[in-house]
Amino acid sequence: MGYSPFPHMMFFFQILCILGLVACGFFARRRGMLSAHGTNDLAHVALSLIYPALIFVSITQLSFADLRANLALPLLVMAIALVGFGLGLLSVRFLGSVHSDTARAFLFHCLVNNYLFLPLPLVLFRYGDHGVALLVFSSVGYELLLWSLGVMLFSRAERKRDQLKSLFSPPFVTLLFSLAVVAARDLFPWPEMPAWLSMAHDTLRSGLKSLGAATIALSMLVAGSRFAVLKFQTMLGWRIWFVSAIRLVAVPLVMIPFLARIPMDPAARGILTIIAVMPSAMVSVLFSERYGGDTDFIAGGLLLTHLWALVTVPLLLAWAF
């Protein structure tokens, strides 16, 4: 069956929705409702409290059997990320004389793309709830890279002990804890919970789900706030266009033929293909605000890749499928 054009239209409107929500952060910063300090505080809250809730709820909805049967998915999404990072390392020498913060921001854009939120509606339409579960599990690979190599790229800590300490951030610890919970829940027999405890469990999970759902909204507000003070010249810089070409064109052109040659379930291949063509991750601006870096470059690349994704993603998915 050919790939329906409807998901392409769905993605188009998803991008427009994102840009509309980012505009809320832009408006808030321009109107003085959100300051530079407030933007940094929002990023801190999102990474320390809200994003961990999203990770926990997403991972614990899977079973240990799901994890074991699809171990290749996190490994292959790590391959997607590392191909981008490798292309970035090969290209960074051509950036010329730039500040180390800009070079790290360039490499972060190459490493991490939008691996969960934007692919979600496309995966749901094409592969249903089972596909969504596989998408969530595949994100483990990105989370591991995000909270190891990604943090190291942004961290300004000079001592190795301080760099290692930054790895054990709330989201990374939550990821490890969530995987342990899934293993303990499914591998060891547990007595049946009384009704009141089961109700308390469901209420707590519902609360965490509501909290985690705010991750994307806060990311957009922080991104919009950064866009409000972004110099227009930054968007015209060739280095931002360069990293956008790597993220939206070079990585998919490498990964789509590679994935087509690996024996795997068609649904898994389709999910990985969708992930491979995505633009830069919204969480990148949170990292830049929280850990330090060239936030103008991050924000400029984030905006440009999402604008160009309106063209590149439908074309690449039509080719791949």
Q: Residue 146 is which amino acid?
A: L
pLDDT recorded at residue 84:
96
pLDDT recorded at residue 11:
65
Q: Is the pLDDT higher at 207 or at 5?
A: 207
Quick: pLDDT tens for 84-135. 999 999 999 888 888 888 888 899 999 999 887 778 777 877 887 678 778 8
Q: Where are the domains of the chain?
A: 6-186+196-320
Quick: pLDDT tens for 241-267. 999 999 999 999 999 999 999 998 888
> What's the whole-number mean pLDDT along residues 226-232?
75
Q: Is the pLDDT higher at 81 or at 142?
A: 81
Does the structure show a pLDDT above 80 at 162? Answer: no
Report which DSSP code applies to 92. Answer: G
Please choose, from the candidates 124, 132, 69, the residue with its C-alpha nearest in 3D space to the C-alpha of residue 265: 69
Quick: pLDDT tens for 278-290. 999 877 877 777 7
Per DSSP, helices labelled H in the chain are 6-30, 36-45, 51-60, 64-69, 72-91, 100-111, 119-145, 151-154, 160-167, 170-187, 195-212, 214-228, 232-236, 238-245, 251-260, 266-276, 283-291, 295-320
Q: Is the pLDDT higher at 55 or at 24?
A: 24
- Torsion angles phi and psi, residue 280, rounded to 5: -60, 155
Architecture of the CATH domain 6-186+196-320: Up-down Bundle (1.20)
Q: Is the pLDDT higher at 311 or at 249?
A: 249
pTM metric for this prediction = 0.76
Quick: pLDDT tens for 31-54. 999 998 898 888 888 888 998 898
pLDDT recorded at residue 1:
43
pLDDT recorded at residue 157:
46
